[in-house]
Amino acid sequence: MARIADLQALMEGEAVAPGNASRQPPQSPAVLDDAANSPEPAAPEEMSEQPAGIPSESVNVMIWAGKRAVLIGGMSADASSRLQETLALNILKSLGEGQPQVLGQVSWPIFNNLLVPGNSGHDFVEVMRSVLSGLEGRQVVVLQGGADAEKSWLSEALGHDAAVRFPHTLAEIAGYPTLKRSLWHQIRPLVAR
């Protein structure tokens, strides 16, 4: 309470007599001393206590599921959503999936302020676990930048790691034929299974 009163007094003191030079300066050292004695808020890294590998940067993925395969594709705001979705469906068709369903899009973090409750790495894993529930026996293909960075959250959310992890988003793959060929070489063994 004393700190609030000090802050209010400080604010009122600045508002009174803006051109009065004879007025004593506000007692900011008392406020600073009070602030120094109060417990410091924890740094965002300490508060979130994210397990290793949970994304600390923003994640924007779309998830499609067929009868045997799941595709988790990084979406880019810089490219056409339709183009990226068409590519994802073509990849699943090449894996033998006739009519895969869209499970949804997950954008993380929910809020820009990482200190807001519900924005932690653990919450992200829970969201992904919910979206991926019931897909335990299916092969997973992940198309997302930062190849090994998302390994832990996927293992925690799904219960196993991806069969194929490709370090490029759908937009990047759509723009470069060499990336398409490279991806095809990685997913070809899944077709034979």
Q: What is the pLDDT of the chain when averaged over all its residues? A: 75
Encode 110-122 in three state secondary structure.
CCCCCCCCCCCHH
Q: Of 159 and 100, which is predicted with more confidence? A: 100
Query: Nearest to residue 47, comparing CAs of 151, 110, 129, 119?
Result: 119
**CA neighbor of 121 nearest in space, from 45, 42, 43:** 45
- Angle at which helix 177-192 crosses helix 81-94, to 10 degrees, equals 30
The pTM for the full model equals: 0.67
**181: pLDDT strictly greater than 90:** yes
Instruction: Provide the pLDDT for residue 125.
Output: 86
**What is the DSSP-derived secondary structure letter of residue 72?**
E
Q: How far apart are CA 113 and CA 104, in angstroms?
A: 23
- Comparing 26 with 170, which gets the higher pLDDT? 170
Q: What is the pLDDT of residue 39?
A: 44
- Do residues 143 and 173 touch, judged by C-beta distance below 8 A? yes
Sequence-distant (≥ 6) Cβ neighbours of residue 167 within 8 angstroms: 144, 145, 146, 147
End-to-end CA distance of the chain: 67
pLDDT for the residue 57: 64
Q: What pLDDT does 24 receive? A: 47
Task: Compute the average pLDDT of residues 114-118.
Answer: 77
Q: Which of 122, 139, 138 is nearest to 186 (CA)?
A: 139
Please give the pLDDT value at position 14: 44
Whether the pLDDT of residue 105 is over 50: the answer is: yes
Residue 74: pLDDT above 80?
yes
Tokens 């820009």 appear where?
A: 112
Amino acid identity of 184? W
Going from N- to C-terminal start, the domains of the chain cover 2-40, 59-192
Q: CA–CA separation, 54 vs 72, rounded Å?
A: 15
pLDDT at 171 over 50: yes
Instruction: Read off the pLDDT of residues 48-64 as tens digits, 9 standing for 90 and up.
Output: 444 444 555 678 999 99
- Convert the pLDDT of each residue in 130-166 to its tens digit: 998 888 889 999 998 654 455 567 778 878 888 999 9
